[in-house]
Amino acid sequence: MPDSENQNAIPVIDVSRPSEAVALQVLEAASTQGFLFIKNDGATIPPKDIDDMFKLSQEFFATPRQHKAEFAIHSEKAGGINRGWVSMQGESLDPQGQKHGDPKQAFNIGPPQPELQPLPQPLLSQKDLISRFQTSCHNLCISILSLLGTALQITDPDYFASRHDQSQGPSGTIFRMLYYPKTAPKGDREDSIRAGAHSDYGSVTLLFRLPGQPGLELLTEKGWVTVPVNPNPKDLIEPPILVNIGDLLSFWTNGMLKSTVHRVTFSSGEERYSMAYFCHPLNDAKLGAVPSEVIDKFGDQGVNELRSQRKRLGLNEDGENDVLTAKQHLDRRLKVTYGI
């Protein structure tokens, strides 16, 4: 492929031996595309756990509707706000751009600490697998955040890690299993959108997909661009893990890191499964710019990025420059998505 066509390809970064050079690669991708792939080294998140989680997700979504509905999203039985089962059309990720809610189902699981939320079968019998998967996802997020901290030259090397230490209190972190059921093939663009255009609410998201089930698209200057599941199947036996920057890192860096808008669309009508780990800081973390000379030098170049963030939150765009906490930010986003 000529270089010019490949210029915007999302890089695959090997973070198994962290260094300043690796940190700069992560920062470069995070501040341009807002997306990067992490090479799956077979240890950080064991491929068998990924496979087993996908199998479990398929088993769960195949259970009767009534069984899933007992653990409806936000219900007390499911463990409260933002936990539990989302039914078809139960949420709208792009309320202004869509006539109907997203044609997908989801199940949200909060952090395993201090204890895992109540779960329906077959998830309950696999709670050790789920907790282990959540922990390995969280550890990978911390490694990515630490690399970003290095590249941003934050003097406190634990700046991000300490704000994501889940033993220290509640956070908005959510592990989400997604199921996009089979539909009649549609040619119509609006009907082929399975998850509306949105940016993610947390700091970092990890996304797992299955070979043959792409569908994810990023909004770039050139329009919507499809993200392959495995950008290099010849050299990478395991698909790499897709990482994207969420809104909070954009706030923390004065818009230097990009919380890129993305969506899921496919017109073939086939079913699709995916899993996302939305890593959030502790609820009381403040979202003001982090102490970094790199961000100071970046100055106000991120003003448009920040403006669109504030708009998504329903805040005055130029803003009341009051610093939000992670919890205030999440509450606002949930209000827009679910009307709660």
Ligand X SMILES: O=C(O)CCC(=O)C(=O)O
102 binds Fe ion (CB under 5 A): no
Point out which span in 132-140, 192-200, 287-295, 312-320 binds Fe ion (CB under 5 A).
192-200
Q: Which of residues 213-232 bind ligand X (CB under 6 A)?
A: 216
Q: Which of residues 256-275 bind ligand X (CB under 6 A)?
A: 262, 264, 274
Residue nearest ligand X (C-beta atom):
274
Q: Measured from the CB of residue 275, what is the shortest distance to ligand X in angstroms?
A: 8
* Bond into 122 cis (ω within 30): yes
With respect to ligand X, which residue has the nearer C-beta, 253 or 274? 274
Interface mask toward ligand X for 163-202; x: CB under 6 A: ---------------x----------------x----x--
Q: Pick one of 200, 217, 247, 305: the residue that binds Fe ion (CB under 5 A).
A: 200
73 binds ligand X (CB under 6 A): no
Residue nearest Fe ion (C-beta atom):
200
With CB under 5 to 8 Å by kind, the binding choice for 178 among ligand X, Fe ion, none is ligand X
Q: Measured from the CB of residue 193, what is the shortest distance to ligand X in angstroms?
A: 12
With CB under 5 to 8 Å by kind, the binding choice for 68 among ligand X, Fe ion, none is none
Rounded CA-CA distance 42/37 in Å is 14
312 binds ligand X (CB under 6 A): no
b/e sequence 32-53, b meaning 16+ C-beta within 10 Å: ebbbbbbbbbeebbbeeebebb
116 binds ligand X (CB under 6 A): no
